[in-house]
Amino acid sequence: MPSPALGRCRFCLSEDVALTREHVFARWLVERLRAFRATRAAQLPADAAADARLARLVTMVCGACNAGWMSGLEVSFRQAVFARSRPDHLAEPTRRTLSRWFTKTAMLVAHSANKELVPEEQWPDLTDTMPDGMRVGLARLRRPRQPLDLEFGYEESAGTESARLTGVAVQVDDLVGLVTRRSSVTPATTLWPLRSHTLRWTTLPVVSRLSDLTGDGAIARRHNPT
């Protein structure tokens, strides 16, 4: 078996460390949702077109990050979203967990497509907090077509190579997190920055498509709120 590649970990900034493969969507989540064949080919770089399954998206991190804060974040996310019995409202620790997990996932998905959502100099912030300037919205998806999915949001001419990536929507079952640098997450409800309003699982806004959060309609609502 070949030796692990040595390099610099973008999260803890350790130099010349063995880098390990970290699945963007953890194996436990793929198995839980039976999302082995879920795809989003349009979001992947050209050289990954041969296998566009979301379960195959990987990044390289050091073993300490992989087995440390990233593993802990997965455990906290699983407990928050899939607990058999959970409180109706989202307490502050749960909001922090969901915000960090959706941000970590969105930025790695963007990176796998050779795009930047969070500047790499801010990646180390995510090991224990949230990067400055990020907003996270939370919503539910009506009748998901598959258990895992993604959608990219762009500024102005959406979807072109020159367009600037401004947000990524990450769907887990019927839950959707929108991670963006825009000033609003409408029509989602604000998960991050933390607000004082009560947030409940049962009253999250419902959208019909991920593009309701990232597409032209969402942009228009942000510019002309009702």
Non-local (6+) Cβ contacts of 50 within 8 A are: none
Indicate the pLDDT class of residue 5, thresholds 50, 70 and 90.
confident
The token duo for 74 is: 């997965």
pTM reported for the whole predicted model? 0.88
Query: Domain segments of the chain: what residues?
Result: 6-223
The token duo for 161 is: 């190579």
Report the chain's mean pLDDT, rounded to a whole number: 86
pLDDT, residue 156, reads 62
Indicate the length of the chain as a whole number: 226
pLDDT, residue 217, reads 43
pLDDT, residue 52, reads 76
Structure confidence by residue, pLDDT tens digits, 32-61: 999 998 987 455 544 444 457 899 888 999
Report whether the peptide linkage leading into residue 187 is cis, meaning its omega lies within 30 degrees of zero: yes
pLDDT, residue 130, reads 96
Cα dihedral 151, 154, 158, 162 sign: negative
> Of 164, 172, 175, 150, which Cα lies nearest the Cα of 219?
164
Maximum mean pLDDT: which of 90-94, 112-116, 212-216, 221-225: 90-94
Structure confidence by residue, pLDDT tens digits, 204-225: 999 999 999 997 544 434 433 3
Question: Is the pLDDT assigned to residue 159 strictly greater than 70?
Answer: no
Beta bridge partners of residue 154, listed in sequence order: 165
pLDDT, residue 162, reads 61
Cα dihedral 132, 104, 140, 203 sign: negative
Question: Is the pLDDT assigned to residue 95 strictly greater than 90?
Answer: yes
The residue whose two tokens read 């087995």 is 67
Cα–Cα dist 186/184, whole Å: 6
Q: Please give the average per-residue pLDDT across 76-94, as a whole number.
A: 91
Cα–Cα dist 175/16, whole Å: 38
Question: Is the pLDDT assigned to residue 100 strictly greater than 80?
Answer: yes
Cα–Cα dist 131/184, whole Å: 17
Burial label, 32 (beta-carbon count in 10 A; 0-12, 13-18, 19+): middle
pLDDT, residue 189, reads 95
54-63, 99-108, 154-163: the lowest-pLDDT one: 154-163
